[in-house]
Structure 1
Amino acid sequence: MSKYTHYDVIRAPVVTEKSTMASENGQVVFDVAIDATKPEIKDAVEALFSVKVKAVNTLVRKGKHKRFRGRPGVRNDVKKAIVTLVDGQSIDIASGV
């Protein structure tokens, strides 16, 4: 079983030009917990938004090397999930949960 609640798995929606274009094809993009699995992500989206999920694709965006107050540092890695919904289903990201 999952050690997370559904709100711990789904961190935030990703609102970019690319994710907005994907929403026209029935896909929604979320930032998720770095160690969340595809079945956990699917269960969380179905429970929180009352929709049926067809597929979940994930990717890990590696943290950039940046300078913080003159000192070198690295941003945290971020895991993104591209959730494909069953035809006819949609999630309105602007409404919130």
Structure 2
Amino acid sequence: MHTEQVLIKPMLTEKSSLTTENYNRYVFKVQRKANKYQIKQAVEQLFDVKVTNVRTAVMPGKVKRVGRHTGKAASWKKAYVQVQEGQKIELYKGL
């Protein structure tokens, strides 16, 4: 898997913003098949920072309903990436 395919998008939520401010940890939605080593390489290459820790979690898909038909949304993976003290990822530059 190529490094530009590993990260799907940054998760910009209230909880992830607090995690970034307090622990210097960033949250990304990543490919389900990506492992911690690939995630670390992708973040270091794309954002030019030193990654100290990567934690991952697979989020189960929710049950969705359209009329009387039910289905299940796909499960997805998120990664908590901690960067070295003093370094920062500019996620809000374009906003």
- TM tier, shorter chain? over 0.9
Does residue 34 (structure 1) correspond to residue 32 (structure 2)? The answer is: yes
Alignment of 1:81-96 (within 5 A): 81-95=79-93
Alignment of 1:2-13 (within 5 A): 4-13=1-10
Does residue 55 (structure 1) correspond to residue 46 (structure 2)? The answer is: no
CA distance in 2, matches of 1:78, 1:68: 21
CA distance in 2, matches of 1:70, 1:48: 44
CA distance in 2, matches of 1:28, 1:69: 37
Q: Name the structure 2 match of 1:21.
A: 18
Superposition RMSD on alpha carbons, in Å? 1.1
CA deviation string 1:3-27 (max 9, x = no partner): x222210000001111000111211
Unmatched runs of 5 consecutive residues or more in structure 1: none
CA distance in 2, matches of 1:70, 1:89: 50
The alignment covers a number of residue pairs equal to 93
The letter of the residue matching 2:6 is V
Q: Name the structure 1 match of 2:69.
A: 71
Unmatched runs of 5 consecutive residues or more in structure 2: none
Which 4+ runs in 1 deviate beyond 2 A? none
